[in-house]
Amino acid sequence: MKFNIALLAGDGIGPEVINEAVKVSDAIAKKFNHEITWTPALTGACAIDAVGVPYPDETHEICMAADAVLFGAIGHPKYDNDPSAPVRPEQGLLLMRKKLGLFANVRPTFTFPSLIDNSPLKRERIEGTDLVFLRELTGGIYFGEKGRRDDGETAFDNCVYTRVEVQRLAKKGFELAMTRSKKLCCVDKANVLETSRLWRETVQAMEKDYPEVEVSYEFVDAVAMRLVQWPNSYDVLITENLFGDILTDEASVISGSMGLMPSASVGEHTSLYEPIHGSYPQATGLNIANPLATVLSAAMMFEDAFGLKEEAEAIRTVVNQSLEQGIVTEDLVAKGVKAYSTSEVGDWLVANL
């Protein structure tokens, strides 16, 4: 098969981890007789520096024309402590999600047997954890009206959801639950928020269409707590944008390193695959960042965007082997133990595919 993939390396360690995912993807393509055309495009701080905006129209056209988007990371410290910056790299990501209609963010959390003791949580709590968050990505407080009044002394961010937005995300949740253990948890704050009551009412009305799925409704504060107590009691969780942002960062450390977790954003147009970690500015250019989350995002891309399960499995298998054999970056080794560089890990994966 032939694929055209938009390559959005972004900022910070983005280009370094993307580079390794490209090497591994090309090796997989060679092994299974596929042809990949990579089309690089600018996004984030590097796009602001080059053309003044974080998600240029040209980048959007490249993404729309592609079969999938592989994305690195976005963000630069020079914008973080300047609340008055007129444009910010993160706006590029939000605009890209909106314009590509990427309303569902799929963020799995699973454990690797060889890394169980890297987790900050006790082994018996996390063994067997295999859960997926479906985070709503184009609504809620992120995209509601925001502003200042009273001469700037008062600020507001509105949280708005429509029934249709909840339905389309929940539908993906029910469908995913049907392919797994048929357990779905709707995470909300329906004891306080009106948008949460709309979520709950909408999901409840959909239950009859999926009689086999067992649905639970839990408040977000309780989920934040249970997620570190008994993560292995969850399977598929659906939630709104901001709750999902926070809970998926919390969930990402269960596996032992944030540098391991992949994600997909899907919706109306081209799907996007990206590691869940950020741009890790302190590590930029040092060749130390963990490329595995991006490599595993490429595996998700092969499986979900192209329907190539065997290719995806081959990537996951070699990643597992690298973990078992300790061919890993510094975030995964104890002090004093030899760590491999970003590109050495990528080279090893390619050589062992």
Binding-site members are: 97, 107, 135, 221, 245, 249
Q: Does 48 bind ligand IPM (CB under 6 A)?
A: no
331-336 contacts: CB < 8 A, separation 24 or more?
A: 331/257, 331/259, 331/290, 332/115, 332/118, 332/256, 332/257, 332/259, 332/290
Choice between 240 and 245, CB closer to Mn ion: 245
- Given 26, 49, 67, 90, the residue binding ligand IPM (CB under 6 A): 90
Smallest distance, Å, CB 123 to Mn ion? 27
Choice between 14 and 75, CB closer to ligand IPM: 75
The amino acid occupying position 185 is C
Residue written as tokens 């959390």? 109
Smallest distance, Å, CB 241 to ligand IPM? 7
Tokens of 296: 């595993």
- Binding to ligand IPM by CB under 6 A, coded x per residue (else -) over 187-226, reads ----------------------------------------
Residue written as tokens 């910056």? 85
Q: Does 245 bind Mn ion (CB under 5 A)?
A: yes
Smallest distance, Å, CB 265 to ligand IPM? 9
225-231 contacts: CB < 8 A, separation 24 or more?
A: 227/251, 227/254, 228/121, 228/125, 228/254, 229/125, 230/125, 231/109, 231/121, 231/125, 231/126, 231/129, 231/131
Taking Cα atoms as reference points, which of 71, 121, 127, 353 lies closest to residue 253? 121
Which residue(s) pair with 251 in the sheet?
Answer: none
Binding-site annotation, residues for substrate: 97, 107, 135, 221
Binding-site annotation, residues for Mg(2+): 221, 245, 249
Choice between 275 and 291, CB closer to ligand IPM: 275
- Strands 236-239, 183-188: pairing kind: parallel
Region 220-259 residues binding ligand IPM, contact defined as CB under 6 A: 245
Stretch that binds Mn ion, among 21-29, 76-84, 138-146, 243-251 (CB under 5 A): 243-251
Residue 93 partner contact from Mn ion, ligand IPM, none using kind-dependent CB cut-offs of 5 to 8 Å: ligand IPM
Which residue(s) pair with 104 in the sheet?
Answer: 136, 266
Which residue(s) pair with 68 in the sheet?
Answer: 5
Q: Does 274 bind Mn ion (CB under 5 A)?
A: no
- Binding to ligand IPM by CB under 6 A, coded x per residue (else -) over 67-86, reads -------xx-----------
Just list the catalytic residues: 142, 189, 221, 245, 249
Smallest distance, Å, CB 238 to Mn ion? 17
Give the interface with Mn ion as residue ranges (CB under 5 A): 245
